[in-house]
Amino acid sequence: MKLSLPKKVQIHEVVLRDGIQNEKKLIPTEEKLRLIRELVACGVRRIEVSSFVNRSLVPQMADAEALWERIERRRGVLYSALILSEGGLERAIRCRVPHVGIFVSASETHSLKNSNKSVSEALKEAVRLIDMAQDAGMKVRAGVMNAFGCAYEGPVPVHRVLKLVRAFKKRGADEICLADSSGLANPLRMEDVLARVRGETGEMELSLHLHNTRGLGLANVFSALRQGVAIFDTSLGGLGGCPFIPGARGNIATEDTVFMLHEMGLKTGIELDMLIEAGLPLETLLGKAFQVFASNLKRPPS
């Protein structure tokens, strides 16, 4: 039986936001700028540059304005930022950010820990932010965190996810993103949730933000590909993880995701060797080896 899979897959690189936000060693602005340049050079066309958050709470994002002021905005590359509040959105508007992500958790417990708001309160705020962003001429990616389960609450009923998706669609979001924030998805759960969400979104762009907590990240990518999803958040070196979720290991690794997609004959537009090389200085700076299989292609045997 021949599988019907997307011919081309887009990588939404999140290493500069989700990937490094919890790292203790501060990444210099110059290193971030280098990484952005090299990601673009190797073919990455979607990059999450930063989030606009409290500088004292997330020191890695303290240079957001400086970074946006200095990046070389290349035609055909989508530069994005994560927005959590009205103040953050106002900062993004001043920086002429063209694309923002606005997320709400489907888990009450996580929502309270992450934003100190109930899901209904967070949704009300998100809708207001979406309107403000669109009024400012921004494209909006509206997302549902813990769409496949929550480390605190366990399985999340799909109707909670669908309620948020409907609200985002009604506000005219340009893209819907489902986040496996706790890394609890499995391929069958992925298939079921995506099928039901597709029933609500129709032809809207749908993307996934997957974590690899239980080692099922790439299996979930394959399941999502079978459902027609062609945009995936990934992080160089598999870095990242939500600070408010116990045991939430990093994102699926960009290197391994691209390697798997290419082995399957799918196009990403990314040069894998260049991508691996782009991450090596960051690996050295952080002082730890990235736990990705594809990187072994560039290392001599021990």
Calculate the alpha carbon distances from 184 to 20, 33, 187, 220 in Å. 22, 33, 10, 10
Q: CA–CA separation, 1 vs 119, rounded Å?
A: 42
Write out the catalytic residue numbers: 242
Tens-digit pLDDT profile for residues 6-45: 999 999 999 999 999 989 999 999 999 999 999 999 999 9
**Quick check: is 5 in a domain?**
no
Domain count, the chain: 1
Q: What is the average per-residue pLDDT within 271-281?
A: 96
DSSP symbol at 112: H
- The distance between the two most distant Cα atoms of the chain, rounded to a whole number of Å, is 55
**Two structure tokens written together for 19:** 């990937």
Enter the pTM of the model. Answer: 0.94
User: What is the pLDDT at residue 300?
Assistant: 44
Q: What integer best gives the mean pLDDT of the chain?
A: 93
Residues in CB range of 219: below 8 A, 6 or more apart = 186, 187
Let me know: does 286 contact 25? Beta carbons within 8 Å. yes
User: What is the pLDDT at residue 246?
Assistant: 62
User: What is the pLDDT at residue 5?
Assistant: 93
The three-class DSSP label of residue 81 is strand
The three-class DSSP label of residue 60 is helix
**Quick check: is 82 in a domain?**
yes
What pairs with residue 206 in β-bridges? Answer: 176
Let me know: does 173 contact 141? Beta carbons within 8 Å. yes
**Quick check: is 250 in a domain?**
yes
**Quick check: is 4 in a domain?**
no
**Quick check: is 238 in a domain?**
yes
Tens-digit pLDDT profile for residues 153-192: 999 999 999 999 999 999 999 999 999 998 999 999 999 9
Domain containing 182 equals 10-294
**Quick check: is 302 in a domain?**
no
User: Domain containing 191 — which CATH number?
Assistant: 3.20.20.70
**Quick check: is 3 in a domain?**
no
CB atoms within 10 A of CB 243: 13
**Quick check: is 72 in a domain?**
yes
pLDDT at 63 over 70: yes
pLDDT band at 291 (very low <50, low <70, confident <90, very high): confident
